[in-house]
Structures are given as C-alpha cells and as structure tokens.
Amino acid sequence: MGDPTPQQLIDEAGLDQEMAAGVMPGLSAALAALGEEGGLSESGHQRALAQFRDNLARLSAIAADRRAHPEIADVEIVRPVFILGLPRCGTSILHALIGADPQIRTPLQWEVAAPSPPPDAATFDTDPRADGFDAYVQENFTGAWADVLKAHPIGSRIPQECGMILETAFQGINPTMLFRLPSYYDWYRKTDTRFGYGVHKMWLQHLAWKNPRKRWVLKVQEHAHHLAELLAVYPDAVLVQPHRDPVTVMASISRLIEVIRCVSFDRIDRDELGQELLHLWHDGQAAALAWRKANPQVKVLDLAFRDLIADPVEAVRKIYGHADIDFTGESEEAVSRWWREHPADKHGQHRYELADYGLTREQVEGVYADYISAYRPYL
C-alpha cells in the first residue's frame, strides 16, 4: 500500500476549503519529494508522514477555533520583531533573552505543539499541555537524539521558532531539515509564500487572543528566503539580523542536522550533508542580500554574535531602541537573570569540526564571499 495522496491527508485532517487550497501545492511537493527520497529508512519515511499529518492537524485546529470564535481574526499584531540571520549565530539566544521580558510575547514550544484551545492568560503558567510537552521531550530525546539538546534548546517554556508554524502551511523549510527532500526545497525556494505568512499571522492572533503582550518577537533563519512575502503580510515588521563567521556556522549547523536526521536515515554521508547545507543557507543569505539592496528604506539592525555574547543586555537594549520598545528596569532584570541561569553548555558541549563534513575554510569563504563582503564588520 502506497503513501496517502495530498487530498486524502487533507480530508483526514478536516481542513476547510480555503486552507485546503492553500496547503495543497506545498503538501503535494512534499509528498512527491518523499516518494523520491531513497535514503530514508522505513521508520524515517513513516516519521515524515506522521510529521505531515501533525502539521495539518495543528492547522485544522486553529482554523476550527477561528471559525468558532471569529473575533480571533480581529486581534492586531503591531510591529512584530523578526530576528533573521544564519543558523548558529545567536538567534535562539536573542529570542530567549527578549522572551524573558514580561511585556514581550514569543510563541512557546508547548503552545505551538498543542494550540487548541487557544492559550489563556489565566491558566498559561499551569496549563497541563506544557507538562505533556516536557514529558514527550524526556521520552524521545534520548540515545542518539540526546545530542540535539546540546545544540538546540527544547522545552515547553522555551520560545519556539517560526519554522514549526510555517510548516503547518507547507511553506516552510522544516521538511528539508528533517528528511532532506531536495525537490521540495527547490519548490519552496521558488514559490510565493504569502499564504504561509498569512497562516503565520493566524497563529499569532490565535495565541494572543486570550494571552496578549505589548509586542511579538519571532525568529527563524528561513525568513531570509522570503522577506518580500513576510513584509507583504507584516508591512510594519521590525527586522534584526545577528551575524557570525560562516565558517563556524557551517560546522555547527552540519552537526546539528546530522543529529536531527540520524533517527530517520540508515546512513548519513557527511560530505554530502556538508555540501547540501553549505549552499542551502547561502541561498537564503543571497536572497536576503538582494532584497535588502532593493529595499534600502527598510532599516535592519545588524549585530555581531561576539557582541551579543560579550554583553547580552546591551545587545537587547539596542534591539529595543531599534524597535521602539521601552527597555525598563524589569526588562533588564529579566534579561540578566535569563543569561545567568542558562549557560551555553547546560546539556553538554556540542562538538563539531568543519573537516568532519568534507568542508574547508576556503570552500566556505568562497561560497559566502558576498555575505562576508557585505557584513565583514560584524563577523
């Protein structure tokens, strides 16, 4: 028996006509790519199908809540802050630092995993879905997968990146990260993702309806691929981009993706993985560079990773100034406390070498020559 068709998965999830039409192109591309992917183990193949089903179920849940409560569509999302940048350059640290401020709203991992019913401020700190998420992490992130925790924070009260939201529209990069799927990635690069960002806004309205804050702060690296569509949906968005030497970035992200994929592939060719990621992340930076050059009126705050690590409070202060957010005494205390309580090696050290993935400094610097030239003062 073969894989389900896109329509069968859509019907199974109970998506309405509008949502079904929106997800159909990306879902079709993802399923076609899955059928072509020969490297996945049988359990990896089933894991991908389960992920696709979960994406559709989460979208269906927020769409159903929206139909039941039309006022959710009236929630205003004002000047959301989007943290851009390459992977492994401090975006997750910044997201968590700012998310510690009580006036700021970030999507938390538990509520993105289980969004229905919409989270409520009155029960937000005691919602049993948070404990359920932590139990899932404790049960599943063991053995070979335990190394994920050394490189990427996972937990119910940790801010979630936008990839887990965009993937519900099948206009995000997560399927590529988890299961490789090169033809899906090619489709994603070329497609107009305004539907995906429309779904992203639905999510923010859903999460903020009964639990609002003054401002949203969001992040994921793939925004670089589609800044035009992001600004089409959020024309008042505030953009922040930290930077780091791409040589260090490539070694780190290659190790992380190897660990993430290890449960779905019988064998991972490290040299092949290095080449894949070398160009994938550069694709996004090349797109972002072109967009920024064509839109100089949109001011982006550039930051150096080294400055973030040296003085995180000052880095956050700069972002607040750029975004017109009051950096209060309470803000400073919350940011400082988070930094003290979350050392980088809390779950053990994340070890990697560029040569492990068949890459050299000269190769990386050659591919990223445009990025290095544009942002040299921040590297």
Amino acid at 245: D
| Alpha-carbon distances, residue 236 vs 81, 297, 361 (angstroms) | 9, 12, 38
Q: Beta strand 300-304 with 104-105: parallel, antiparallel or unpaired?
A: unpaired
Q: What's the pLDDT at 344? A: 62
Token pair for residue 354? Answer: 């560029």
Q: Residue ranges of the domains in the chain?
A: 77-177+190-378
CATH number attached to the domain at 77-177+190-378: 3.40.50.300
Asked if the model's pLDDT at residue 319 lies above 80, the reply is yes
Phi, psi of 3 (to 5 degrees): -65, 155
Cα 75 to Cα 64: distance, rounded to the nearest angstrom: 16
Question: Would you place residue 343 in the very low, low, confident or very high pLDDT band (cuts 50, 70, 90)?
Answer: confident
Q: What's the pLDDT at 142? A: 72
Q: What's the pLDDT at 342? A: 87
Cα 268 to Cα 129: distance, rounded to the nearest angstrom: 34
In contact, 314 and 207? CB cutoff 8 Å = no
Q: What's the pLDDT at 281? A: 95
In contact, 47 and 264? CB cutoff 8 Å = yes
pTM of the predicted model as reported, rounded to 2 decimal places: 0.96
Cα 20 to Cα 229: distance, rounded to the nearest angstrom: 20
Which residues have a Cβ under 8 Å from the Cβ of 41 and sit 6 or more positions away? 264, 265, 266
Cα 370 to Cα 181: distance, rounded to the nearest angstrom: 27
Asked if the model's pLDDT at residue 332 lies above 70, the reply is yes
Q: What's the pLDDT at 153? A: 79
Contacts 24+ apart (CB under 8 A), 70-77: 71/209, 72/118, 72/205, 72/206, 72/209, 73/205, 75/204, 75/205, 75/208, 75/209, 75/212, 77/201, 77/204, 77/205, 77/208, 77/216, 77/234
Residue-wise pLDDT tens digits, 7-17: 999 999 999 99
Q: What's the pLDDT at 151? A: 64
Q: How many CB atoms lie within 10 A of CB 102?
A: 12
Of 286, 48, 61, 56, the residue nearest 184 (C-alpha):
48
Q: What's the pLDDT at 146? A: 72
Per the DSSP assignment, residues forming a β-bridge with 159 are 108
Range with the poorest average pLDDT among 144-148, 199-203, 206-210: 144-148
Mean pLDDT of all residues in the chain? Answer: 94
Q: What's the pLDDT at 347? A: 44
Residue-wise pLDDT tens digits, 103-133: 999 999 999 999 999 999 999 999 999 999 9
